[in-house]
């Protein structure tokens, strides 16, 4: 597998479904810390544009929560508490910066990989009744979860692109 000039893994142009889904998710996972690289704490806490309070640090924390929710809670059926309480990770703590957030996020990504390592794409997890209300079904396949995670990261990496450009003018990736 090749890599981009910035070191992200390039998804293979020809692969089976599982490899394709996991490699695109890994590509988008690798984009997130890249958007935060080289910035000071105050820059990582800089909100985008009023009225939004979204920050790069908040996005890292949020995506740690997203990993935990979809792979531990939904897919594996574990009863684990939120990492950061209410707010989906977007509410920042003054004493916890990017190093702690990236460590949490990396730990959640590692757990996610472990939980699906031997699972079939057709294996299912269970949504909460609230989540199932949106989908119309309480069961959701690993295939669906992986596609959802790709779109979740892609959407938030787009947010991160805009935040980073506002902070220091860096674009791309």
Q: What is the model's pLDDT at position 173?
A: 64
- Residue 15 located in a structural domain: no
Helices (H), the chain: 17-36, 41-44, 56-67, 98-116, 129-135, 142-168
- Residue 108 located in a structural domain: yes
- Residue 71 located in a structural domain: yes
Domain range for residue 74? 29-168
Residue 154 is part of a domain; what is its CATH number? Answer: 1.20.120.450
Q: How many domains does the chain have?
A: 1
Q: What is the model's pLDDT at position 39?
A: 96
Q: What is the model's pLDDT at position 131?
A: 85
Q: What is the model's pLDDT at position 35?
A: 94
- Residue 9 located in a structural domain: no
Query: Residue 16: which of 125, 152, 143 has the closest Cα?
Result: 143
Average pLDDT, the chain: 93
- Residue 83 located in a structural domain: yes
**pTM of this structure:** 0.93
Residues lower than pLDDT 70 in the chain: 173
């Amino acid at each position: 597998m090749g890599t981009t000039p910035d070191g992200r893994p390039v998804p293979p142009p020809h692969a089976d479904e599982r490899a394709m889904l996991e490699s695109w998710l890994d590509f988008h996972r690798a984009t997130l810390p890249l958007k935060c690289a080289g910035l000071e704490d105050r820059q990582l806490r800089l909100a985008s544009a009023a009225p939004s309070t979204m920050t790069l640090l908040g996005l890292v924390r949020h995506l740690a929560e997203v990993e935990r929710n979809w792979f531990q809670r939904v897919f594996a059926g574990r009863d684990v508490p939120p990492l950061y309480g209410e707010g989906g990770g977007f509410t920042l703590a003054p004493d916890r910066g990017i190093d702690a957030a990236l460590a949490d996020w990396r730990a959640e990504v590692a757990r996610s990989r472990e939980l699906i390592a031997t699972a079939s794409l057709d294996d299912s997890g269970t949504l909460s009744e609230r989540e199932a209300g949106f989908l119309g079904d309480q069961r959701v396949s690993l295939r669906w979860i992986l596609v959802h995670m790709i779109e979740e990261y892609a959407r938030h990496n787009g947010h991160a692109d805009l935040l980073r450009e506002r902070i220091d003018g860096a674009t791309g990736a």
